[in-house]
Amino acid sequence: MCGLCGMLGGEAHWTDAGTPASEDQHAQVRRRERQLRVACLNRVLRAFACTVSDWQSHAYLISTFTGKTEIVENLTQLWPAVERLSGRRVDPLAADLLDRLRQAS
């Protein structure tokens, strides 16, 4: 997807819904939740030689350690993009991956 499409995007994904609050509080909570989500995703994606970053609070930028990059709108699109970029099947709930994450924490 091009950068402009990523910014205009469709409806928000349920993971970006946030909590009810005033508009200012909502924006702060949403940014904080997104930062925590990106940090957690990066722990998982390290196993697939990928990283993810927040792009303008509208999309996610996925990159491999070798520099291949893709922009996705939400977490639903993230996992297939990681598979395309890494060339590996991705199962974030695989037992061996969960064991490694538990040991690292």
| Digit-coded pLDDT (tens) for 33-79 | 999 999 999 999 999 999 999 998 889 999 999 999 999 999 999 99
Tens digit of each residue's pLDDT (9 = 90 or more) over 17-36: 554 555 667 788 888 999 99
The more confident residue out of 61 and 93 is 61
* Confidence (pTM): 0.73
Name the burial class of residue 34, with classes exposed (0-12), middle (13-18) and buried (19+) by CB atoms within 10 angstroms of its CB. middle
Q: Calculate what percentage of the chain has a pLDDT beyond 90.
A: 60
What is the rounded CA–CA span in Å between residue 101 and residue 46? 10
Please tell me the predicted confidence (pLDDT) of residue 92. 86
